Amino acid sequence: MTTASHPVTILGTGSYAPERVMTNEDLSQMVDTSDEWITTRTGIRERHIAADGETASDMAVRAARLALDSAGLTADAIDAVIVCTMTPDQPCPATACFVQEKLGLEGKTAFDLTAACSGFIYGLQVASALVHAGTHRHVLLIGAEKLSAIIDWTDRSTCVLFGDGAGAVVLGRGPDHRHGIIGVRTGANGAQAELLHVPGGGCRIPASEQTVRDRLHFLKMNGREVFKHAVRGMEQVARDLLDEHGYVAGDLDLVIPHQANLRIIDTLGSRLEIPPERFFNNLERYGNTSAASIPLALDEAVRAGRVRPGDLILMLAFGAGLTWGASLLRWSGNNQPVPLSEN
């Protein structure tokens, strides 16, 4: 029997990627780049691109339904919907409200959370606090992004990196006291906001004909600087979280890092002395899907049998803000309690 003393856990996962696939070869027809450059510098081979009318909330709903199925729950068991996104359907209202309506969750809490590529880990911290507090029994936490809508398709330094998609989890109390979320840490440094940002469209530089002409509604990035901060930031937050809970990197069964660049992940692995086979990566097929990246990878890892009950899993994120975050959890399986002693 599940009780209020059990840790909060992930009860189910789901993900969705749009049908259209854009390969590196396709991109080389659009900008001055090559499959060789993109593959060796990033590890990305292809990404999914949403259809014209397909929105972040459409993708979120597809992932959410699968997460509900995997948790063995129906939508009416959900008390809150949180959508982590930097590409909302509209500036107002929250994309979560569109998701809530599409899932038929009238009256339930719904809000967006913006922490760019760290959004899902921030969301995990907030959503698990809601469940822990007892105000919400089950929370649907979704990362959904249509980055293709804010990418400058004439800028080869950014357009090759990103893709669209969604990943979702259902959070609730775990099956016993030994499985579930052990800890979450997040942080930010707003002094480095300009390393990765969309300058126009907010109240500082409202949309105008001029902002469109100046291409201020597109994502701008200092890739080299972001790379360095990403490695340092994720290494530090991983060490701090492991230390805080009395673990070392060697205890980890699986690491699910933000899927931005294989070179970032490999460098992180060497610094933390975690062998490459302990990382789950799928950026080769999706590129960087920002807040969707970790839940999308988690869902694929679960469905591929890479996550077993009792596994110690570290999720690591880094993104615009700059922001970062890490989460440590003992996997409980989908509504299937398996005691650690049986592993």
Interacting residues with ligand ACO (CB under 6 A):
33, 37-38, 41-42, 116-117, 156-157, 160, 196, 221, 223-224, 226-227, 230, 260-261, 288, 290, 319-320
Catalytic residue among 84, 97, 117, 159: 117
- Nearest approach, Cβ of 277 to ligand ACO (angstroms)? 22
203 a catalytic residue: no
177 a catalytic residue: no
> CA 228, 231, 234, 237 torsion: positive or negative?
negative
Query: Shortest CA distance to 320 belongs to which of 119, 155, 146?
Result: 119
Q: Which is nearer to ligand ACO, 279 or 331 (CB)?
A: 279
258 a catalytic residue: yes
Q: Which is nearer to ligand ACO, 118 or 332 (CB)?
A: 118
Q: Could you give the CA distance from residue 116 to residue 192 in angstroms, rounded to a whole number? A: 14
Q: Which is nearer to ligand ACO, 174 or 319 (CB)?
A: 319
Q: Could you give the CA distance from residue 23 to residue 123 in angstroms, rounded to a whole number? A: 31
Q: Which is nearer to ligand ACO, 229 or 303 (CB)?
A: 229
- Nearest approach, Cβ of 101 to ligand ACO (angstroms)? 27
Catalytic residue among 136, 138, 258, 261: 258
In the chain, the amino acid numbered 276 is P
DSSP 249-297: GGG-SEEEE--S-HHHHHHHHHHHT--GGGB---HHHH-B-GGGHHHHH
> CA 210, 213, 218, 224 torsion: positive or negative?
negative
- Nearest approach, Cβ of 227 to ligand ACO (angstroms)? 4
CB 257 within 8 A of CB 224: no
Alpha helices (H) along the chain: 24-28, 35-42, 56-71, 95-102, 119-133, 156-159, 209-213, 223-244, 262-272, 283-286, 293-303
CB 160 within 8 A of CB 33: yes
Please give the backbone phi and psi of residue 38, each rounded to the nearest 5 degrees, phi first. -65, -45
Q: Which is nearer to ligand ACO, 169 or 320 (CB)?
A: 320
Longest dimension (CA), the chain: 64
Active-site residues: which are they?
117, 258, 288
